[in-house]
Amino acid sequence: MTNREELEKAKRHLESLKNAANKQLLSSSQQIESVRLLVDQNVSPGMFRPHKSSSNIFFANSLTIRAVKKDLFLAGEGFEDLKRVVSCTSCNQELDEQFWSFCPYCEGKLSK
Ligand SMILES: [Zn+2]
């Protein structure tokens, strides 16, 4: 699945969440529509660098883009309560499990 397809899927998922909860989970679907993740290998692993002039564009290295859970990244705020810190089984980096499918630093598995 390409990043674009994954973003589309995440967007549909978020829209269904909003409908199921019967409340506005997102500030606007327009905002999701225009969020883009662009590859920049100079950005540190696990980090996102906002675009200078567009608030909907973020740069991250390619491993970070693959590792991040797109739906939660796009939702932005409101997930702090669900924070669950786990550590990478390879490099021991501590990560918030809700945002990562795998370690954005070394591609290792996250502990359960
Ligand atoms: Zn790791």
**In this predicted model, what pLDDT tens digit does every residue of 4-18 receive, in sequence order?**
787 777 777 766 665
The total of structural domains in the chain comes to: 1
What pTM did the predictor assign? 0.61
Q: Is the pLDDT of residue 60 over 80?
A: yes
| Whole-number pLDDT of residue 100 | 92
10 Å CB burial of residue 53 (0-12, 13-18, 19+) is exposed
Q: Is residue 89 part of a domain?
A: no
Q: Is residue 56 part of a domain?
A: yes
Q: Is residue 109 part of a domain?
A: no
60 CA → ligand 1 middle, Å:
16
Q: Measured between alpha carbons, how far is residue 85 from residues 10, 66, 88 in Å?
A: 22, 19, 10
| Whole-number pLDDT of residue 106 | 96
Q: Is residue 98 part of a domain?
A: no
Q: Is residue 87 part of a domain?
A: no
Q: Is residue 68 part of a domain?
A: yes
Q: Is residue 104 part of a domain?
A: no
pLDDT digits (tens, 9 = 90+) for 65-99: 999 887 766 665 566 667 789 999 999 999 988 88
Q: Which domain holds residue 40?
A: 3-79
Residue ranges with CB less than 5 Å from ion ligand 1: 88, 90-91, 93, 103, 105-106, 108
